[in-house]
Homo-oligomer: A and B are copies of this chain.
């Protein structure tokens, strides 16, 4: 199920923006109706996934069945399937198979989460034990591989070879982004451009692929494909920046993840990069020592956060996310209005605004 959308944002000053800016963005306090509309889509996607699994896991080992269900039905946000459905609808196609195609993106997403949690040795996700913590490494690697294969299978079958190509390229790019991120672990000389390239590869390209494949499924023309690809890559990057902000500022009870993970792992994210760029030489040296020192110390984490705040790193990073969302919303103005009266396009715009305000 879709999570409850938070309806007020007053507790998050770094997300506040001047009234004159991004006039096409929907104010943060009117997502209540979005919730019920999107919940219907999510319910259809989940039904399609359950039906598909009943068939594709038929006669499979009970443990495989259990692990796949455990990993998939755990209160995920279902952002990717929502995007596929809304993008296809915004190009004029809405039918039963669309919801299964949309589910395929959740399969791939969950496969990558399962494998990421092995890599990060994460114990919790969305407030529950991760697959690796609950079922062990063997089951986690294998279940991820199963979901990976099933998702490619569905995309190739339902959306054709061009879509499969887009999807596989995005998956390959995601892996490359992870490798580039590893290369920059603990490296404070990482540039903002390198960070943005990494998140484009890690998150932007895959989210763009969910949008473009929705468009391809609907037989969209090149201009629509371009608009939805641009929309997807921008919201994908913004999504990752918000994720990186939540890693510092989130509430563990809401995100279901330990706060400060990125610092412990040595990931250099945008709030830190902004702060490093603005900091005095002395504070920059302090931050460098914190990052290169024992990152498991809570006092080190707190000192780093204080420095990021001092140099406005959180606000600046949130500003970059807002700018990306603004561009994403703007490009959708070029979309034609179909028989739904532009409702799907409008929902895509509002979903983009919501992503800025999410708490988990």
A residues at B contact (CB < 8 Å): 56, 60-61, 63-64, 112, 115, 118-119, 137-139, 141-146, 148-150, 152-153, 156-157, 160-161, 164-165, 168-169, 171-172, 175-176, 178-180, 182-183
Contact = CB atoms under 8 A, between A and B. Distances in A.
A119 B148 contact: no
A61 B149 contact: no
A64 B175 contact: yes
B157 A165 contact: yes
A299 to B, nearest CB: 28
Nearest to A61: B179
Nearest to A160: B161
Given A64-B179, A112-B145, A146-B175, 4 more contacts: A61-B183, A150-B172, A152-B168, A156-B161
Closest 10 CB pairs of A and B: A153-B168, A61-B179, A149-B171, A152-B152, A146-B175, A156-B164, A64-B179, A156-B156, A119-B138, A60-B176
SS class of chain A's interface: helix, strand, loop or mixed?
Answer: helix
Given A137-B118, A148-B145, A165 B156 contact: yes
Nearest to A198: B61
A52 to B, nearest CB: 12
Max count, chain B CB within 10 A of own CB: residue among A118, A145, A178: A145
A140 B61 CA distance: 26
Contact of A64 (B141, B150, B156, B176): B176
Contact of A183 (B63, B152, B156, B176): B63
Contacts of A149: 148, 152, 168, 171-172, 175
Max count, chain B CB within 10 A of own CB: residue among A115, A156, A165, A176: A156
Contacts of A142: 115, 119, 175, 178-179
A140 to B, nearest CB: 10
A344 to B, nearest CB: 27
9 contacts: A64-B175, A115-B145, A119-B138, A146-B171, A149-B175, A150-B172, A153-B169, A156-B168, A157-B161
Contacts of A179: 60-61, 63-64, 139, 142
Given A149-B148, A172-B150, A141 B141 contact: yes
Nearest to A169: B153
Given A119-B141, A141-B115, A176-B60, A153 B146 contact: no
A176 B61 contact: yes
